[in-house]
Amino acid sequence: MSKSEGIPAPAVRRLSLYLRQLEALRETNLHTVSSKQLGQALRFTDAQVRKDLAYFGQFGQPGIGYDVNELIARLRSILGTDRTWRVLLVGAGNLGRALLAYRGFGKRGFEIAAVFDTDPAKVGKPSAPDFDMPVRHIDELADAARDLQIRLAVLAVPAPVAQSIAESVVAAGIRGILNFAPIALHLPPTVTVVNVDLAVQLEQLSFNVSAGIAPSE
């Protein structure tokens, strides 16, 4: 239960980036990598890399570096992506359909197992042209979450209904929500919410571009 205690969220985010970089290095048949090499492409110092990894245990050998395959396996295990996570998608609008088609999820072990909406024009129809999976009514969500033992949901619903839908999703046993609605959800502290607000991210760009300064993420 104490796995993530005291570990800063940015360090966890960087683990994802290290993992991606390691996978790219493995494609080039590299077997070992130093913290410097690992940080380089991502513009992090070797000290940063070592510090981030140190939160999670002992990795690599001084003077030799990290075994690429071993570090990939350990990072996947830490991030919980050494298994497949089934995810519920709530909202079958444009964004929901784009997410269904987004290959990045499947590649990283996330599988959209069911799609929900309230729109009678969508319920019972295929969720997207290339997806046979029919859209189900949101009233069936609690049953589906229990039957499929799902703990993660993606919310691609309009802002005005997001809070009430999030509450019913949580009541259905969901413990992690990726929220695309541009509002702050108020949920019990046992639920993790990651917000994706695309306009906020564009605002970061307009801030930097109007300031004439360009810090990267």
Considering the complex, state which of residue 8 and residue 61 has its C-beta at the smaller distance from a second copy. Answer: 8
Stretch that binds a second copy, among 28-36, 117-125, 134-142, 170-178 (CB under 8 A): 170-178
Alpha-carbon distance of 209 to 134, in angstroms, equals 43
**Subset of 23-42 contacting a second copy (CB under 8 A):** 24, 41-42
Instruction: Figure out which of the listed residues 86, 151, 163, 173 binds a second copy, where binding follows CB under 8 A.
Output: 151
Residue 197, token pair as written in the block: 């607000």
Query: For a second copy, how many residues bind (rule: CB under 8 A)?
Result: 79
Q: What tokens does 198 get?
A: 């695309």
Judged by beta carbon, residue 37 or residue 62, the one nearer a second copy is 37
Check residue 198 for interaction with a second copy (CB under 8 A): yes
Long-range own/partner contacts, residues 136-142 (CB < 8 A, 24 or more apart): 138/90, 138/165, 138/168, 140/116, 141/88, 141/90, 141/116, 141/168, 141/169, 141/172, 142/168, 142/171, 142/172, 142/173
Of residues 89-148, which lie at the interface with a second copy (CB under 8 A)?
A: 93-95, 97-102, 104-105, 107-110
In the complex, what is the shortest distance from the CB of residue 63 to a second copy, in angstroms, rounded to a whole number?
27
Q: Is the dihedral of CA 23, 27, 28, 31 positive or negative?
A: positive
Among 33, 157, 170, 178, binds a second copy (CB under 8 A): 178
